[in-house]
């Protein structure tokens, strides 16, 4: 049995070079060496976000980025439309309420994407909405929303369209400028392929204009101050030097291969997971499966919590289970990070072994050979 495999929807497996960089001796953030790295990273982040606007680095987890968008863009008392299709949608709606937003929740059934025409109707009958919040992928249900269609609708209103792209940016095509997204956040432990600890936020021009007059108090998450510091070649607070050095490597690698190829690699892993699970008799939980994470329904009669634990303890494969109403019912397999074909084959093989231990009728050796054949038949484009 080879080593442990981590195919969670974040944190993700790290590139061996990233692991080495993280172990380098520390350098100070006020040095010419770090200045050059920061300048390069801030530039390359723009391509990663598909934007001409500045992308800011925050030393916080992704939720800090979601909070930063709110404290810079939401005035107390303003009306907010929150698309809630799972745990992270709930979190952002709750956060907006904490900051005084009058939040209307557009609830979607778990596993279903929002219908853009419902959002359009809601905005037409509620012209006072100032902010629309959504996830790009709702990680708790592995469901992708149609961000392009939603952005098109919201950009024709006075509302700002804020997108939690924590399990989307860098995993698949999200076009900040072309689609007219006003605020976008990404997290380091997802498609950015680093450990947890950084997030990235980007505002459109109309969002910056609102940030300048937004009355909500803020200090650590004051994006204008961060931007001012970046324009002097610095970060506002101490820079997360080790993470940013590793980020420099990741962004350089992606820019060498190009975003399209990078997305195609992730799509191939998602396609593989969907194809193999169908062959194993496992159906998909989501009606709009994302390319960053796939949720598989646990077969009827099996306890998904025990199955996940067994897969981890006996076979050293870590995937995630479901939360709340999906607890014990789904397994969520991530497609982001440093993933080689043998990780994919081993994950499906060991999942089959674990299912067999739970008396599910499956032939693990056959799953292994089907996995290998699928990957050979769908090679990565060079």
**Separation of alpha carbons 182 and 205, rounded Å:** 8
**Separation of alpha carbons 290 and 225, rounded Å:** 35
Under the binding rule (CB under 6 A), the answer on residue 323 touching ligand PLP is no
| Helix H or strand E segment including 169 | none
Distance in Å, CB of 317 to ligand PLP, minimum: 19
Distance in Å, CB of 333 to ligand PLP, minimum: 14
Binding mask 188-227 for ligand PLP (x = CB under 6 A): --------x-------------------------------
Question: For strand 129-135 and strand 160-164, is the pairing parallel, antiparallel, or unpaired?
Answer: parallel
**Separation of alpha carbons 264 and 208, rounded Å:** 32
Distance in Å, CB of 22 to ligand PLP, minimum: 18
- Candidates 33-41, 59-67, 174-182, 337-345: pick the segment binding ligand PLP (CB under 6 A): 59-67
Mark out the alpha helices in 50-115 (DSSP H runs).
62-73, 87-98
Under the binding rule (CB under 6 A), the answer on residue 166 touching ligand PLP is yes
Under the binding rule (CB under 6 A), the answer on residue 63 touching ligand PLP is yes
Under the binding rule (CB under 6 A), the answer on residue 289 touching ligand PLP is no
- Candidates 70-78, 164-172, 328-336, 338-346: pick the segment binding ligand PLP (CB under 6 A): 164-172
Binding mask 175-194 for ligand PLP (x = CB under 6 A): ------------x-------
| Residue from 44, 51, 135, 141 binding ligand PLP (CB under 6 A) | 135
Mark out the alpha helices in the chain (DSSP H runs).
16-22, 32-49, 62-73, 87-98, 116-125, 147-154, 176-179, 205-213, 223-231, 241-257, 259-279, 304-315, 341-357, 364-377
Under the binding rule (CB under 6 A), the answer on residue 334 touching ligand PLP is no
Distance in Å, CB of 67 to ligand PLP, minimum: 9
Distance in Å, CB of 164 to ligand PLP, minimum: 5
Quick check: 77 and 215 in contact, CB under 8 A?
A: no
Distance in Å, CB of 145 to ligand PLP, minimum: 11
Q: How many CB atoms lie within 10 A of CB 382?
A: 5
Number of residues forming the site for ligand PLP (CB under 6 A): 12
Token pair 């607070």 is at which residue? Answer: 237
Of 293 and 362, nearer to ligand PLP (C-beta) is 293
Q: How many CB atoms lie within 10 A of CB 287?
A: 12
**Separation of alpha carbons 163 and 136, rounded Å:** 6
Of 90 and 152, nearer to ligand PLP (C-beta) is 90
Under the binding rule (CB under 6 A), the answer on residue 12 touching ligand PLP is no
- Candidates 57-65, 148-156, 249-257, 370-378: pick the segment binding ligand PLP (CB under 6 A): 57-65
| Residue from 10, 116, 289, 334 binding ligand PLP (CB under 6 A) | 10
| Residue from 88, 221, 272, 315 binding ligand PLP (CB under 6 A) | 88
Identify which of 180, 141, 145 has the alpha carbon closest to the alpha carbon of residue 164.
145
Residue 187 CA to its chain's centroid (Å): 6
Of 134 and 371, nearer to ligand PLP (C-beta) is 134
Under the binding rule (CB under 6 A), the answer on residue 167 touching ligand PLP is yes
Of 86 and 304, nearer to ligand PLP (C-beta) is 86
| Residue from 164, 226, 248, 346 binding ligand PLP (CB under 6 A) | 164
**Separation of alpha carbons 229 and 231, rounded Å:** 5
Q: At what angle do helices 62-73 and 205-213 cross, to 10 degrees?
A: 70
**Separation of alpha carbons 268 and 172, rounded Å:** 11
Tell me the two tokens of residue 269.
Answer: 């892993």
Residue 105 region by backbone torsions, left for phi larger than 0, else alpha for psi between -120 and 50, else beta: beta
Contact footprint for ligand PLP (CB under 6 A):
10, 61-63, 88, 135, 139, 164, 166-167, 187, 196
């Amino acid at each position: 049995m080879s080593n442990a495999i981590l195919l969670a929807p974040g944190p993700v497996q790290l590139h061996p070079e990233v692991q080495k960089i993280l172990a380098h001796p520390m350098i100070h953030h006020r040095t010419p060496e770090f200045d050059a790295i920061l300048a390069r990273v801030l530039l390359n982040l723009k391509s990663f976000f598909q934007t001409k606007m500045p992308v800011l680095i925050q030393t916080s987890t992704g939720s800090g980025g979601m909070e930063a968008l709110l404290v810079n863009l939401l005035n107390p008392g303003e009306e907010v439309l929150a698309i809630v299709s799972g745990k992270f949608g709930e979190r952002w709606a709750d956060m907006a309420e904490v900051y005084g937003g009058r939040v209307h929740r557009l609830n979607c059934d778990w596993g279903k994407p929002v219908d853009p025409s419902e959002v359009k109707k809601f905005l037409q009958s509620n012209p006072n909405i100032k902010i629309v919040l959504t996830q790009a992928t709702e990680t708790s249900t592995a469901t992708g929303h149609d961000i392009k269609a939603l952005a098109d609708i919201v950009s024709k209103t006075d509302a700002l369209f804020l997108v939690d792209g924590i399990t989307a940016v860098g995993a698949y095509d999200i076009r900040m400028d072309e689609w007219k997204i006003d605020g976008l956040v990404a997290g380091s432990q997802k498609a950015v392929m680093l450990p947890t600890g950084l997030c990235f936020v980007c505002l459109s021009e109309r969002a910056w204009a609102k940030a300048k007059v937004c009355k909500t108090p803020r200090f650590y998450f004051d994006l204008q101050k961060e931007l001012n510091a970046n324009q002097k070649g610095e970060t506002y607070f101490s820079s997360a030097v080790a993470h940013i050095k590793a980020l420099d490597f990741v962004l350089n690698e992606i820019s060498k291969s190009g975003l399209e190829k990078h997305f195609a690699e992730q799509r191939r892993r998602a396609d593989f997971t969907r194809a193999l699970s169908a062959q194993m008799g496992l159906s998909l939980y989501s009606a709009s499966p994302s390319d960053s994470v796939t949720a598989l329904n646990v077969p009827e009669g099996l306890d998904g919590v025990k199955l996940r634990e067994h897969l981890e303890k006996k076979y050293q494969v870590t995937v995630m289970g479901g939360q709340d109403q999906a607890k014990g019912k789904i397994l969520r397999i991530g497609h982001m990070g440093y993933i080689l074909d043998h990780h994919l084959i081993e994950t499906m093989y060991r999942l089959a072994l674990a299912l067999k231990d739970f008396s599910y009728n499956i032939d693990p050796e056959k799953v292994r050979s089907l996995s290998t054949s699928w990957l050979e038949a769908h090679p990565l484009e060079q």
